Amino acid sequence: MERRYRVAIAGCHRMLDRTPAGHNWAAGFAADPRAELVAVFDRGADTRRAFVDCWGPLLAFDDYAAMLAAVRPDVVCIATRQTLHAGQIEQAVAAGARGILCEKPLATSLGEVDRIVAACDRPGVAFAFGLDRRWDPTYRALAQTVRDGAIGEVRAVAGWGLPDLVNHGCHWFDRLLDFAGDPEVAAVAGRIDPLAGLPADARQRLAPPGSCQILLANGVEAFVSPAGPGVGFDVAGTAGRLLVLNDGGEARLWTGADDGRTLVERELQLPRPAPAWPLAVADLLDAIEAGRPTLADVHAARRATEVGFAVHQSHREGGRRIAPAEVDRALRIESFPWGNE
């Protein structure tokens, strides 16, 4: 197949070998015959050199704007720290990029999220947010099982094992939204776990954990808690329940028995696991060609991100229920450092 999409990578410190592992988007693009890696931006000279050695020949830059001007890529993969995402996405779209693949977390404020949506929510621009579970075959099958009505009408969803509210929280909130049918978020009430007594450099201070209740626009209630162990989800419907354990490694489906009072476990056939990253790349390129949204488009990214910021706002206001539009657009959560950017 002809290579039709010239791809530039911004921030490459997790893409220095050909292993199709988490955050290795270069491996995902290399696996698709329509894509050609042509340039990389990273401020670390050793990192750039290692990337070129692995994926070259291609052009390497320590200046992002210079890369865009010189290469004019069709697709830009934004894998820098989230403090840079909004500006780099705006620059890429202005330079003519037709596709943007962006690492999580999306941004450091909802004001930045607004800028990203304004840049990408337009014809001719496809956006994919790096929520790998959106493409994971197991989670896709589980969400489809719910959409097919296996447990009736969804009433409530819950997530367990949440490590923090913004940096990783977008994965948890996205799962709950997906199981609930991808509605808009109506309101959020929550709290941040106490940080008193933690060292000044504790990671929890950069990305605080917490818990929350989420009211969705379709009437579904969602709950998220750090309680564990492990990553798990619980979906309750009018005719059954779906329990997801070990981050999709196991799942249990119960539906109503003939007596109308008890639940009976039903057999649940799940697909074999497969790396999500090549599937995400393929979806992005397909979306460019078809002029359609990806499975994790800019609005899915917005919804999964705004919940964590709403929890922070709610906590500041004593646990008050907060609509996303009420969140201070300048409220800034920078989270963890990332690479050489």
User: What are the Cα distances from residue 40, in Å, to 32, 75, 97, 125?
Assistant: 18, 12, 15, 21
CB 161 within 8 A of CB 229: yes
Residue with tokens 């605080």: 208
pLDDT digits 0-9 by tens, 290-329: 999 999 999 999 999 999 999 999 999 999 999 999 999 9
What does the pLDDT read at residue 1? 57
Cα end-to-end distance, the chain, whole Å: 34
pLDDT digits 0-9 by tens, 177-222: 999 999 999 999 999 999 888 888 888 888 899 999 999 999 999 9
CB 111 within 8 A of CB 59: no
State the chain's mean pLDDT as an integer: 94
What pTM does this model have?
A: 0.95
Q: Give start and end residues of each alpha helix (H) in the chain.
A: 25-30, 45-55, 64-71, 85-94, 110-120, 137-147, 169-179, 203-206, 276-290, 298-316
Q: At a CB cut-off of 8 Å and minimum separation 6, what does 117 contact?
A: 298, 299, 302
What does the pLDDT read at residue 200? 86
Q: Which domains does the chain carry? A: 5-133+278-297 (3.40.50.720), 134-270+305-326 (3.30.360.10)
Q: Is the pLDDT of residue 5 over 70?
A: yes
What does the pLDDT read at residue 202? 86
CB 175 within 8 A of CB 296: no
Please give the structure tokens belonging to residue 192.
């941040």
What does the pLDDT read at residue 3? 73
